[in-house]
Amino acid sequence: MKELLISGNLTAGVIDFSLLSLFLRADLVVKSVIIILIISSVYSWTVIISKIVRMRQLKQLDSEFDEIFWSGNSFEDLYDTFNYNQKDLKSKIFCSAIAEWKKSNKDVGRMQASGLNSLKERMSRSMQVTFNKESEIIEKNLTFLATCGSTAPFIGLFGTVWGIMNSFQSISIAQNTSLSVVAPGIAEALFATALGLFVAIPAVVAYNKISSDLSKYFVSLETFMDEFTTIFFRQLESK
């Protein structure tokens, strides 16, 4: 009996529990789960890094725009400046409004109140269309992070359940409940669970952070649109 225990301990002691070995020993289903989670993790980190870099660029461009916009130059000069190299949303929104105004610029002197209201509506619509298009581009792939955060733990849990089922099957076949029989399947199962959490946690945290930053940025854009419209038509009506 003592010899059997020693033999079992030696067998359990030589089992390799490295991540690569756990993957290679896993069956097709668990391997598929692990591969899906690894691909999801790589892609989610790609999205996270790209969004963080993009947000930093937008904030820097936003500060540069505000500095130039509030410098006191005329709208025509500002249009020539920003239309030359449009990289941020404020420049695109501003240029879309001024471009709409330029189409009606020749009739400004004869405009009545109804004409000004029509111009204001067209400019506001043009700015809103630009805002919607550009915000959609910025938010692209962001929903993938939310999807990873909500589904990755369940995908890992599926791999866990399948690995435990394999462990019970091994026990049934070997008619042995020793650690050397049970441990590999349980380790594969726990590996799938851990990998699912590894994918989900950063995705959820990043999604919440990026969504919050984007919400603040979009609010600042909407505020700018209102301020610009007010200032522009105040100057137009004073002529």
- Judged on CB neighbours under 10 Å (0-12, 13-18, 19+), 1 is exposed
Q: Check residue 8 and give its pLDDT.
A: 43
Residue type, 10: L
pLDDT at 213: 92
Q: Residue 64's pLDDT is what?
A: 87
Nearest to 75 by CA among 33, 108, 35: 108
Q: What is the pLDDT of residue 14?
A: 57
User: How many C-alpha atoms does 164 have within 13 Å on its Cβ side?
Assistant: 8
Residue 147 has φ and ψ, to the nearest 5°, of -65, -45
Supply the pTM of this predicted model: 0.76
- Copy the structure tokens of residue 181: 């029989």
Which parts of the chain have pLDDT scores under 70? 1-26, 84-85, 105-115, 170-185, 238-239
Instruction: State the pLDDT at residue 2.
Output: 39
